[in-house]
Structure 1
């Protein structure tokens, strides 16, 4: 059974740059359910724009909490 988590993410361009430099490897978000989730920044890379990352996302994990997908939903 897959689990879905919904959350908003906002990272400035400067914050994204620190991830690209390798200073920080993980992004911690709080899902709508209140759960804190740690994700590798590489999962967010397709969503980085000139001003950083901004949007609403859906994270899908399998029943072992392994990453399946991260989608921007708006």
Structure 2
């Protein structure tokens, strides 16, 4: 299993577009400078009234398939 650490700050109005299905992927930069894209729906359990804010560890297989996500900050 491999992991990448991604700080996110997605405000409610931005996430609303993701939630409605208008946007299906999130593009972000990891703490080590890599650009990553992942399905927006993996963040749904982390949405608050402030949006999605925090640092997340995204775990994926050696074939780059999503396995899990966890909030670490």
Q: Which TM-score bucket, shorter chain as reference?
A: over 0.9
Give TM-score, length-normalised by structure 1.
0.93
Instruction: Flag structure 2 segments of 5+ consecutive residues without an equivalent.
Output: none
Count residues in correspondence: 73
Distance in 2, matches of 1:7 and 1:25, equals 18
Distance in 1, matches of 2:20 and 2:67, equals 25
In the TM superposition, structure 1's runs of 4+ consecutive aligned residues that sit over 2 Å from their partners are none
Distance in 1, matches of 2:3 and 2:20, equals 30
Give me the CA root mean square deviation: 0.7
Instruction: Flag structure 1 segments of 5+ consecutive residues without an equivalent.
Output: none
Tell me what 1:38 maps to: 37
